Amino acid sequence: MSLPGTVPHDGVVAELADILDRLHVVALPMRVRFRGITTREVALIEGPAGWGEFGAFVEYEPPEAAHWLASGIAAAYRPLPAVQRARIPINATVPAVAADDVAGVLARFPGARTAKVKVAEPGQSLADDVARVNAVRAVVPTVRVDANGGWTVDEAVAAAHALTADGPLEYLEQPCRTVAELAEVRRRVDVPVAADESIRKADDPLQVVRAGAADIAVLKVAPLGGVQAMLDIAAQIDIPIVVSSALDTAVGIGAGLVAAGCLPRLDHACGLGTGSLFVDDVAAPALPVDGHLPAAAVTPDPARIAALAAPPDRRQWWIERVQACFPLLS
């Protein structure tokens, strides 16, 4: 039984008042529009065990956002597990920019040998996607694409053919919304299919694997409830895993890198280089070395937190959001 104002989760007992006392809300300006936003707001928790991040996207309702809060609380109040590898290969992330802008984006990912390219952007065409992917291929040898569930099955099949006309794809990430659609696409194309939203947004994150609907599982620490929660899910998955970010600050990226470092096997580059999408971050940017980042937690810079502090009304919004999500953790 939990005490009033406390919720036990994953071995962590935290008091709501203590969490709110430790809360820092920041707003990070972005270099390009990504997921429809140009400023990324998150709440950071300065805990006794380290720093946690609560950054559920603002449109997420409390039942979904509560998983992200659980992740932030776990990182702030519980030591992270020890890693098995010191460096993590990362992919470059290319938003839905014009083909002419691709080289500038890739320049912010020195040494990356893999790139994830956003496709199926509302208002854009398949021809735009093909041009962008081919511009990436001219610079980076391995290309994967992410549709964020933006296609129907027939559109995904057509896109797979068009996007592989000039070269291979490592995989199609979340081409359609549902598990059944992913399974159908997987039957109809030769390109491997990766699942993201079908794992992190599902009541049962293992359903997509049981259904044989994916070749690769994309796991993200925050929406799955924290590093240990993600590792517990990973232990039940028998297909390759890619650890990715959820447009995290340096704090969240550090948690993702630690999670990737704890996996017994890591066959693919991870989507943990998205810090380069920010104009400024809560810690000095960690520049990739030979396309790798260190598997280590990050402590933010107090001066940066102060400089990036969100306005008072936005801070209050995040406080109320924590208050709404907190009772759902039990």
267 has binding-site annotation: no
Q: Is 313 marked as a binding-site residue?
A: no
The answer to whether residue 116 is catalytic is no
Annotation says 220 is catalytic: yes
Main-chain dihedrals φ then ψ at residue 198, nearest 5 degrees? -70, -10
Structure token digits, residue 279:
């104009």
Report residue 70 as tokens.
């659980």
> What are residue 70's phi and psi, to 5 degrees?
-60, -40
* 248 known member of a binding site: no
Written as one letter, the residue type at 36 is G
Residues sharing a CB contact under 8 Å with residue 120, sequence separation 6 or more, in sequence order? 129, 147, 148, 150, 151, 155, 159, 175
Catalytic residue among 40, 67, 118, 200: 118
Q: Which of 78, 137, 220, 315 is catalytic?
A: 220
Task: Quickly list DSSP for 234-281.
Answer: HTT--S-EEEE-SS--HHHHHHHHHHHHH-S---S-BB--GGGGBSS-
Annotated catalytic residues are: 118, 220
Could you list the residues known to form a binding site for Mg(2+), using ranges. 146, 173, 196
